[in-house]
């Protein structure tokens, strides 16, 4: 029985740690943490969208975070490493946090849902499903489920391809839960192939080389308009979100 209690206690501590990291490094776009024990201490890998915010000036952020993990959560000699997420729009936890921030600011839940669906699919996802539940409109709890693209629901493919995360947000109406499931093309099993368009015939080798060079140059370019923090990203999205048509607006146009 003591072994079971230890497992429950460890899982509970991990849940508290994750909740703390969500708030402490929210502006850095926290996704998840990988924790492993080593002979010299505890290794903590933080996956974020903006590593510079976590590290801080001359490593001050890392030092402060290390002290908090050691004192408040009892981690022995924590060694923190920061990993940058290459495609944040394909991370369910990042998108859950962003959508929760929009709802906290008073954005209509359907507008926030449609915007999040659009962002995920435009980033190259194979499919996405967003479930939002709680006090959405009145005193009664309700839920809505929105799906786009191809999303395996069960079996081995769903376990391999689909990533998901859950976030909760307190609004004036009450508590709202957000669950996002994303099917990622890069995790597709080798036996299967997603054919989006037929390859063009008669393409010369020199043309292929030029296309490859263009692709490399495009990947190397850094977007100057990229937000420096998650708060700035939310502000930018809030302005763009006003152009998204919700179901209520589409119904009003048809009347």
Task: Compute the average pLDDT of residues 132-147.
Answer: 87
Supply the mean pLDDT for the chain.
79
Instruction: Give the residue among 95, 86, 142 at the shortest CA–CA distance from 117.
Output: 95
Residue 14 φ then ψ, to 5°: -65, -35
Burial of 66-101, coded b for 16+ CB within 10 Å and e otherwise, reads: beebeeebebeebebebeebeebbbbbbbbbbbbbb
Q: How confident is the model at residue 34 (pLDDT cuts 50, 70, 90)?
A: confident
The pLDDT value given to residue 128: 93
Task: Provide the token pair at 198.
Answer: 């037929």
Domains of the chain: 2-84 (3.30.300.20), 88-195+228-240 (3.30.1140.32)
* Segment 160-195, tens digit of pLDDT: 888 899 988 888 888 899 999 999 887 766 655 655
Residue 158 DSSP SS3: helix
Question: Which of 42-46, 206-210, 233-237 is least confident?
Answer: 206-210
* Segment 61-99, tens digit of pLDDT: 888 888 888 888 888 888 888 888 888 889 898 999 889
The pLDDT value given to residue 226: 66
């Amino acid at each position: 029985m003591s072994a079971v209690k230890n497992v429950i206690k460890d899982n509970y501590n991990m849940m508290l740690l994750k909740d703390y990291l969500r708030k402490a490094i929210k502006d850095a776009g926290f996704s998840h943490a990988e924790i492993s024990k080593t002979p010299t201490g505890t290794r903590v890998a933080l996956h974020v969208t903006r590593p510079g915010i976590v590290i801080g000036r001359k490593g001050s952020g890392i030092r402060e975070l290390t002290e908090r993990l050691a004192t408040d959560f009892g981690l022995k000699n924590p060694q923190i490493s920061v990993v940058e997420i290459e495609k944040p729009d394909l991370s369910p936890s990042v998108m859950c946090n962003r959508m929760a921030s929009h709802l906290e600011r008073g954005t209509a839940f359907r507008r926030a849902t449609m915007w999040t669906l659009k962002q995920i699919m435009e980033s190259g996802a194979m499919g996405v499903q967003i479930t939002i539940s709680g006090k959405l409109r009145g005193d009664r709890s309700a839920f809505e489920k929105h799906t786009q693209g191809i999303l395996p629901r069960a079996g081995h493919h769903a376990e391999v391809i689909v990533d998901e995360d859950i976030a909760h947000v307190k609004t004036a109406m009450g508590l709202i839960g957000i669950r996002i499931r994303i099917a990622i093309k890069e995790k597709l099993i080798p036996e299967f192939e997603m054919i989006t368009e037929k390859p063009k015939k008669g393409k010369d080798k020199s043309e292929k080389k030029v296309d490859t060079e263009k692709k490399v140059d495009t990947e190397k370019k850094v977007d100057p308009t990229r937000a420096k923090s998650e708060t700035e990203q939310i502000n930018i999205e809030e302005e763009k979100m006003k152009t998204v048509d919700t179901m209520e607006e589409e119904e009003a146009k048809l009347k």
